[in-house]
Structure 1
């Protein structure tokens, strides 16, 4: 088995943000899109976080957390804590067959 080359944080963040911009109009409430656009410059954040082990509850299949990067896109509060999450991304490290899953804000 070959060792998996992991996405570096900047690449994972760029991929998630590009997908977010493309898919947000179809998956977010117009009010959330407006809020995001108005607040992103001041409070926006796109962060790679430790891959959660509960994605199976969201996507219906077990995943190897080491095979994926998890990126959150949202707004931070005055304490620099992301408390308004618009999307959580799960992006595979497999470059030739890049899979991703998104949990959108409801």
Structure 2
């Protein structure tokens, strides 16, 4: 039996990821990265909904179905509008009643 659920709207996924990022960044990023993010976010910051990668198993050690998750990146973009400094990658479940998420933080 397949569960029927509504996929997260990209804006909702971005909001969830950004809220979690703000709450957890202090514990998971270097102080220098936090300072860089805070100083540069207004000009170069980006929170982007991207196509869900199929290599999350390598990152989190669990095989996931890319169709059941949204992926959001938070970082800074360069002059070509490409995100070249990624502070966190989020994998967020589409299931509202059982919202699961995984984060890969910048090392």
Alignment TM class, shorter chain as reference = over 0.9
| 8 Å CA contact 1:4, 1:67 repeated in 2 | no
The whole-number CA distance in structure 2 between the counterparts of 1:2 and 1:55 is 22
The whole-number CA distance in structure 2 between the counterparts of 1:66 and 1:92 is 9
Normalising by the residue count of structure 1, what TM-score does the alignment of the two structures yield?
0.98
Between the two proteins, the alignment pairs up a number of residues equal to 106
The whole-number CA distance in structure 2 between the counterparts of 1:8 and 1:100 is 15
Name stretches of at least 5 consecutive residues in structure 1 with no aligned partner. none
Q: Deviations over 1:32-91 (max 9, x none)?
A: 000000000000000000000000111111000000000000000000000000000000
The equivalent of 1:54 in structure 2 is 55
Normalising by the residue count of structure 2, what TM-score does the alignment of the two structures yield?
0.97
The equivalent of 1:105 in structure 2 is 106
The whole-number CA distance in structure 2 between the counterparts of 1:58 and 1:42 is 30
Alpha-carbon RMSD: 0.6
Name stretches of at least 5 consecutive residues in structure 2 with no aligned partner. none
The equivalences for 1:17-96 within 5 A come to: 17-96=18-97
